[in-house]
Amino acid sequence: MTEKAILVIGGATPIGAAVVRAAAEAGYGPARQDGPIDALFVAPFAEAPKSGVAATPADVFASTIDCLLADTMHATRTALPRLLERQGALVFSAPDADIGIAAIAASAAVETLVRSIAYQYGAHGIRANVIRTPGPASPAGPEDVARLALFLLSADASFMTGAIVRADAPPDMVSALSGEQP
Protein backbone atom coordinates (compact mmCIF):
# COMPACT_ATOMS: atom_id res chain seq x y z
CA MET A 1 0.00 0.00 0.00
CA THR A 2 1.36 3.40 -0.96
CA GLU A 3 1.36 5.92 1.85
CA LYS A 4 -0.55 9.10 1.11
CA ALA A 5 1.42 12.30 1.55
CA ILE A 6 0.05 15.42 3.21
CA LEU A 7 1.51 18.90 3.38
CA VAL A 8 0.26 20.96 6.32
CA ILE A 9 1.00 24.68 6.28
CA GLY A 10 0.48 26.18 9.73
CA GLY A 11 1.17 22.96 11.60
CA ALA A 12 2.22 24.92 14.68
CA THR A 13 -1.26 26.42 15.10
CA PRO A 14 -3.70 24.48 17.30
CA ILE A 15 -5.81 23.48 14.29
CA GLY A 16 -2.81 22.68 12.11
CA ALA A 17 -1.26 20.52 14.85
CA ALA A 18 -4.55 18.66 15.28
CA VAL A 19 -4.66 18.02 11.51
CA VAL A 20 -1.08 16.68 11.61
CA ARG A 21 -2.02 14.24 14.40
CA ALA A 22 -5.28 13.16 12.73
CA ALA A 23 -3.56 12.72 9.36
CA ALA A 24 -0.87 10.51 10.91
CA GLU A 25 -3.57 8.39 12.58
CA ALA A 26 -5.35 8.10 9.21
CA GLY A 27 -2.20 6.80 7.52
CA TYR A 28 -0.88 9.95 5.89
CA GLY A 29 2.84 10.58 5.90
CA PRO A 30 4.53 13.95 5.53
CA ALA A 31 5.06 15.25 2.01
CA ARG A 32 8.69 15.04 0.97
CA GLN A 33 10.55 17.88 -0.72
CA ASP A 34 10.21 16.56 -4.27
CA GLY A 35 7.64 13.84 -3.69
CA PRO A 36 3.96 13.64 -4.49
CA ILE A 37 1.27 15.42 -2.49
CA ASP A 38 -2.14 13.83 -2.03
CA ALA A 39 -3.49 16.41 0.39
CA LEU A 40 -2.77 20.02 1.30
CA PHE A 41 -4.12 21.66 4.44
CA VAL A 42 -3.45 25.34 5.07
CA ALA A 43 -4.10 26.95 8.44
CA PRO A 44 -2.79 30.50 8.02
CA PHE A 45 -2.14 32.61 11.09
CA ALA A 46 -1.53 36.31 11.63
CA GLU A 47 -1.51 38.49 14.71
CA ALA A 48 -4.16 40.99 13.71
CA PRO A 49 -6.09 43.49 15.81
CA LYS A 50 -9.78 42.84 16.38
CA SER A 51 -10.65 46.26 15.04
CA GLY A 52 -13.09 47.65 12.53
CA VAL A 53 -12.54 49.56 9.31
CA ALA A 54 -11.91 52.98 10.87
CA ALA A 55 -9.54 51.70 13.56
CA THR A 56 -7.37 49.43 11.39
CA PRO A 57 -4.23 51.12 10.01
CA ALA A 58 -3.63 50.55 6.31
CA ASP A 59 -0.27 48.86 6.90
CA VAL A 60 -1.80 46.42 9.40
CA PHE A 61 -4.61 45.64 6.95
CA ALA A 62 -2.10 45.03 4.14
CA SER A 63 0.23 42.85 6.22
CA THR A 64 -2.68 40.75 7.48
CA ILE A 65 -3.96 40.21 3.94
CA ASP A 66 -0.43 39.37 2.83
CA CYS A 67 0.05 36.81 5.59
CA LEU A 68 -3.37 35.15 5.41
CA LEU A 69 -4.15 35.37 1.70
CA ALA A 70 -0.87 35.76 -0.17
CA ASP A 71 0.88 33.04 1.83
CA THR A 72 -2.06 30.70 1.16
CA MET A 73 -1.88 31.51 -2.55
CA HIS A 74 1.89 30.93 -2.68
CA ALA A 75 1.63 27.60 -0.84
CA THR A 76 -1.09 26.47 -3.22
CA ARG A 77 0.77 27.57 -6.33
CA THR A 78 3.87 25.70 -5.16
CA ALA A 79 1.99 22.49 -4.25
CA LEU A 80 -0.43 22.45 -7.19
CA PRO A 81 1.75 20.62 -9.75
CA ARG A 82 2.36 17.83 -7.22
CA LEU A 83 -1.32 17.73 -6.27
CA LEU A 84 -2.24 17.43 -9.95
CA GLU A 85 -0.04 14.33 -10.28
CA ARG A 86 -2.20 12.52 -7.70
CA GLN A 87 -5.52 14.32 -8.25
CA GLY A 88 -5.21 15.56 -4.70
CA ALA A 89 -7.43 17.58 -2.43
CA LEU A 90 -6.83 20.76 -0.53
CA VAL A 91 -8.56 22.32 2.43
CA PHE A 92 -8.00 25.79 3.83
CA SER A 93 -9.12 27.00 7.21
CA ALA A 94 -10.63 30.47 7.46
CA PRO A 95 -11.64 31.97 10.79
CA ASP A 96 -15.34 32.62 11.29
CA ALA A 97 -15.32 34.66 14.46
CA ASP A 98 -14.96 38.22 15.72
CA ILE A 99 -11.43 38.63 14.42
CA GLY A 100 -11.34 42.14 13.00
CA ILE A 101 -11.83 43.55 9.53
CA ALA A 102 -8.41 42.63 8.13
CA ALA A 103 -8.59 38.95 9.04
CA ILE A 104 -12.24 38.56 8.08
CA ALA A 105 -11.53 40.21 4.69
CA ALA A 106 -8.64 37.80 4.18
CA SER A 107 -10.89 34.87 5.11
CA ALA A 108 -13.46 35.95 2.54
CA ALA A 109 -10.72 36.23 -0.07
CA VAL A 110 -9.43 32.73 0.80
CA GLU A 111 -12.96 31.41 0.29
CA THR A 112 -13.03 33.02 -3.17
CA LEU A 113 -9.57 31.61 -3.94
CA VAL A 114 -10.79 28.11 -3.09
CA ARG A 115 -13.87 28.44 -5.27
CA SER A 116 -11.63 29.59 -8.12
CA ILE A 117 -9.27 26.63 -7.64
CA ALA A 118 -12.24 24.24 -7.56
CA TYR A 119 -13.58 25.74 -10.79
CA GLN A 120 -10.25 25.89 -12.61
CA TYR A 121 -8.85 22.52 -11.57
CA GLY A 122 -11.92 20.37 -10.92
CA ALA A 123 -11.72 18.85 -14.40
CA HIS A 124 -8.18 17.73 -13.51
CA GLY A 125 -9.35 15.88 -10.39
CA ILE A 126 -8.45 18.56 -7.86
CA ARG A 127 -10.90 19.25 -5.04
CA ALA A 128 -10.69 22.40 -2.93
CA ASN A 129 -12.77 23.32 0.12
CA VAL A 130 -12.75 25.76 3.02
CA ILE A 131 -13.51 25.13 6.66
CA ARG A 132 -14.80 28.15 8.53
CA THR A 133 -13.12 27.59 11.87
CA PRO A 134 -14.88 28.41 15.11
CA GLY A 135 -14.11 31.04 17.69
CA PRO A 136 -13.27 30.36 21.34
CA ALA A 137 -16.94 30.33 22.44
CA SER A 138 -17.70 27.39 20.17
CA PRO A 139 -18.08 23.86 21.49
CA ALA A 140 -15.98 22.71 18.49
CA GLY A 141 -12.25 22.47 19.10
CA PRO A 142 -9.16 21.84 16.97
CA GLU A 143 -9.72 18.06 16.97
CA ASP A 144 -13.25 18.57 15.60
CA VAL A 145 -11.88 20.76 12.81
CA ALA A 146 -9.17 18.16 12.10
CA ARG A 147 -11.75 15.38 11.71
CA LEU A 148 -13.73 17.57 9.32
CA ALA A 149 -10.56 18.40 7.38
CA LEU A 150 -9.63 14.72 7.04
CA PHE A 151 -13.12 13.96 5.77
CA LEU A 152 -12.88 16.73 3.17
CA LEU A 153 -9.44 15.50 2.10
CA SER A 154 -10.63 11.89 1.80
CA ALA A 155 -12.26 9.99 -1.05
CA ASP A 156 -15.44 9.96 1.07
CA ALA A 157 -15.83 13.64 0.12
CA SER A 158 -15.13 13.11 -3.57
CA PHE A 159 -18.45 14.80 -4.37
CA MET A 160 -17.47 18.05 -2.59
CA THR A 161 -15.47 20.86 -4.11
CA GLY A 162 -15.75 24.63 -3.84
CA ALA A 163 -17.62 24.20 -0.55
CA ILE A 164 -17.44 26.48 2.46
CA VAL A 165 -18.16 24.34 5.51
CA ARG A 166 -18.73 25.68 9.02
CA ALA A 167 -16.99 23.68 11.72
CA ASP A 168 -19.55 24.67 14.32
CA ALA A 169 -23.08 25.87 14.75
CA PRO A 170 -24.14 29.43 13.89
CA PRO A 171 -23.76 31.75 16.91
CA ASP A 172 -27.48 31.67 17.70
CA MET A 173 -27.34 27.86 17.92
CA VAL A 174 -24.31 27.62 20.23
CA SER A 175 -26.50 28.23 23.28
CA ALA A 176 -28.77 25.38 22.18
CA LEU A 177 -25.77 23.04 21.92
CA SER A 178 -24.61 24.03 25.39
CA GLY A 179 -27.98 23.10 26.88
CA GLU A 180 -29.19 26.64 27.54
CA GLN A 181 -32.90 27.13 27.06
CA PRO A 182 -34.18 30.08 24.99
- Does any domain span residue 77? yes
Residue 119 DSSP SS3: helix
Residue 42, strand partner residues: 9, 92
What pLDDT is stored for residue 177 in this prediction? 58
pTM value is 0.89
Long-range contacts (CB closer than 8 Å, 24 or more residues apart) made by 73-81: 73/113, 75/7, 75/9, 75/40, 75/42, 76/40, 76/42, 76/113, 76/117, 79/7, 79/31, 79/37, 79/40, 80/121, 80/126
Q: How many domains does the chain have?
A: 1
Apex CA 71: angle with CA 5 and CA 18, to 5°? 45
Closest CA to 130 of 13, 45, 41, 50: 41
- Does any domain span residue 135? yes
Alpha-carbon distance 48 to 11, whole Å? 19
- Does any domain span residue 143? yes
**CATH number, domain containing residue 37:** 3.40.50.720
Those residues with Cβ within 8 angstroms of residue 124's Cβ, 6 or more apart along the chain or in another chain: 84, 87
Closest CA to 116 of 133, 128, 108: 128
pLDDT tens track, the chain, 182 positions: 468 999 999 999 999 999 999 999 999 999 999 899 999 999 987 777 677 788 888 998 898 888 889 989 999 999 999 999 999 999 999 887 667 888 889 999 999 999 999 999 999 999 999 999 877 667 788 999 999 999 999 999 999 999 999 987 666 665 555 665 55
Alpha-carbon distance 118 to 126, whole Å? 7
Question: Is the Cβ–Cβ distance between 36 and 5 less than 8 Å?
Answer: yes
56: containing domain: 4-177
Q: In residues, how long is the chain? A: 182
Those residues with Cβ within 8 angstroms of residue 142's Cβ, 6 or more apart along the chain or in another chain: 14, 15, 17, 18
What pLDDT is stored for residue 176 in this prediction? 58
What pLDDT is stored for residue 165 in this prediction? 95
- Does any domain span residue 74? yes
- Does any domain span residue 182? no
